[in-house]
Amino acid sequence: MPAPLLSRRVRFGPFVVDFNSFELFKHDIRLKLQDQPFQILRLLVQRRGDLVTRDELRMELWTESTFVDFDAGLNAAVRRLRDTLSDSADTPRYIETLPRHGYRFIAEVEELPDRARELKGEKQEPAEAPVTVPAQIEKPKDARSLEGWLTRVPAIWFPVVGLLFLLFVLKTEGWKNLFVSHASNDIHSILVMPSRTTFPTA
């Protein structure tokens, strides 16, 4: 008996079957398949290599309250399934008929990851690069105090301080000019006085 399928999505030949969405694909093209032929395919694939009897298919797909010709209904469903798979009862590649007993799936089956996990893996985004935060330089305590004092001084004081400084400079320049002008008027001429000469007596 083959190992049970761990995946709900399998591949055989050019076909992919998704048992979650009840879809059959060939070369990524979705094929139309009715419910009963699809359920037959599901049972055969899940028990690949083993005989699935006609009674097992009847109990799985036809309820007791269904009043139909079971043999004709099953033969028609298997025929539609083979037509979709391009398979033949005489030279089977996928579904082998055991006369008066049932059917067996004979192709190799490859399990695939579920579609949801596959899409999640394809759309997975790379991790974001770590953000580097520049180190803060610790300022001296005096600098922080001066900076804080300047931020607390109202803006109106800066023009006042500038005006006082300008007046101080002008006043200093005025005193300097006054001092230079007085110094230049102090001395204009030199008076030469005759000297007294004392001659020695004889």
Per-residue HEC secondary structure of the chain comes to: CCCCCCCCEEEECCEEEECCCCEEEECCEEECCCHHHHHHHHHHHHCCCCEEEHHHHHHHHCCCCCCCCHHHHHHHHHHHHHHHHCCCCCCCCCEEEECCCEEEECCCCEEECCHHHHHHHHCCCCCCCCCCCCCCCCCCHHHHHHHHHHHHCCCCHHHHHHHHHHHHHHHHHHHHHHHHHHHHCCCCCCCCCCCCCCCCCC
Higher local confidence (pLDDT), 92 or 192: 92
**64 vs 198, higher pLDDT:** 64
Predicted confidence at residue 134, as pLDDT, reads 52
Average pLDDT over all residues of the chain: 75
* Neighbour tally for 103: CB within 10 Å: 24
Q: How far apart are the first and last CA of the chain?
A: 170
pLDDT of residue 94: 97
Residue the block writes with tokens 């025929």: 79
CA-based Rg of the chain, rounded to a whole angstrom?
55
Q: Who contacts 85 (Cβ-Cβ below 8 Å, separation ≥6)?
A: 15, 93, 94, 95
Higher-scoring residue by pLDDT: 115, 44? 44
Q: Is 96's pLDDT higher than 50?
A: yes
- 117 Cα distance to chain centroid: 17
**133 confidence band (pLDDT: 50, 70, 90):** very low
pLDDT digits (tens, 9 = 90+) for 10-63: 999 999 999 999 999 999 999 999 999 999 999 999 999 999 999 999 888 876
Choice between 18 and 66, residue whose per-residue pLDDT is larger: 18
Q: What is the pLDDT of residues 150-177, one digit of tens each?
A: 555 555 656 666 777 777 666 665 555 5
**Is 117 a residue whose pLDDT tops 80?**
no
Which of these, 93, 2, 15, 82, lies nearest to 48 by C-alpha position? 2
Residue 42: predicted pLDDT: 94
Whether this model's pTM surpasses 0.75? no
The β-bridge partners of 23 are 18
Beta bridge partners, 104, equal 51, 96
Tell me the β-bridge partners of 53: 102
- Would you state the pLDDT for residue 19? 92
Q: What is the pLDDT of residue 127?
A: 43
